[in-house]
Amino acid sequence: MYTLTSSQKDLLRRIVRQVREEKLPEEFSITWRSEGKGFVSVWKGGSEEDIPTVTQGALDALAAAGLLLCDIEYYTAHSIKTELSRTCTLLGKAYEAVDSDFNAPDTSFVKPLTPLADITNLDAELKQRCLPILGAGSTNPKLWDSVVRTAGVILEERLRDVGGIADPNRAERDLVNDVFGSRGTLAAKIPGAFRNPYAHRLVDPTPEDGGAYIVFINLLLKMLEDLR
């Protein structure tokens, strides 16, 4: 959703209407009066009272929302920089926003579904041992090979710790069986940890946990397809 105020939305509606009625070009100029309000010099909406109140903040908000482009002209007097005027260009998204009554689709879910988009809640050991490797160049597949291998070692160590496996030589399939096999130390806990809470009650995970869960399931599904 657009985080615009009612007055900012109304301003854009009036601008779009003027453009569609060919009373205002898509690129227009704003000059500022002494009281800080803007004047659209080519506005053809009728009397001066019909001209909407324009403020720098409103235009900045529309620009930040990707609805306008603003080219600002300043003048400097006594080392004080002041905005003199700005040229505004209406963008295609402005028409879409007005036509949909600013009911933009919520795409905030993309961030939790993007691996490593936010490393705030990443496991501390993964942060310490894996991320510095990627700092040398995250587009290099060889570095990702090292990161995945390091992450695998961290997972094995965590399995030994959580599963109470004292033998440091137990690894890979043997370690997994020791922990999750029919007689493993966590045999009945992993299925419940992932699926059961969501199947039997409302859990309301955080966006980060929910996104991580979907990304994890997506990776498993990809691996299963590779085995097909």
Task: Calculate the average pLDDT of the chain.
Answer: 79
Per-residue pLDDT tens digits for 150-176: 988 888 888 888 888 888 887 777 887
Confidence of residue 203 (pLDDT cuts 50, 70, 90): low
Q: Quick one: pLDDT at residue 20?
A: 92
Burial class (CB in 10 A: 0-12, 13-18, 19+), 171: middle
Are 44 and 24 a contacting pair, CB within 8 Å?
A: yes
Tokens 């490393």 locate to 119
Per-residue pLDDT tens digits for 34-92: 655 555 655 665 555 566 778 888 999 999 999 999 999 888 888 888 888 889 999 99
Beta bridge partners of 97: none
Beta bridge partners of 74: 83
For the chain, the domains span: 6-99, 124-227
Confidence of residue 143 (pLDDT cuts 50, 70, 90): confident
* Least confidently predicted of 23-27, 96-100, 135-139: 135-139
Dist CA 69 CA 30 (whole Å): 13
Angle at 87 between CA 81 and CA 91, to 5 degrees: 130
Continuous segment of H or E residues that includes residue 194: helix 190-194
Q: Choose between 96 and 211: higher pLDDT.
A: 96
Closest CA to 163 of 184, 190, 183: 184
Dist CA 35 CA 54 (whole Å): 11
Are 27 and 89 a contacting pair, CB within 8 Å?
A: yes
Cα Rg, the chain, nearest whole Å: 28
Beta bridge partners of 70: 88
Confidence of residue 27 (pLDDT cuts 50, 70, 90): very high
Are 144 and 124 a contacting pair, CB within 8 Å?
A: no
Are 37 and 7 a contacting pair, CB within 8 Å?
A: no
3-class secondary structure per residue, 108-124: HHHCCCCCCCCCCCCCH
Q: Quick one: pLDDT at residue 94?
A: 94
Tokens 């209407």 locate to 17
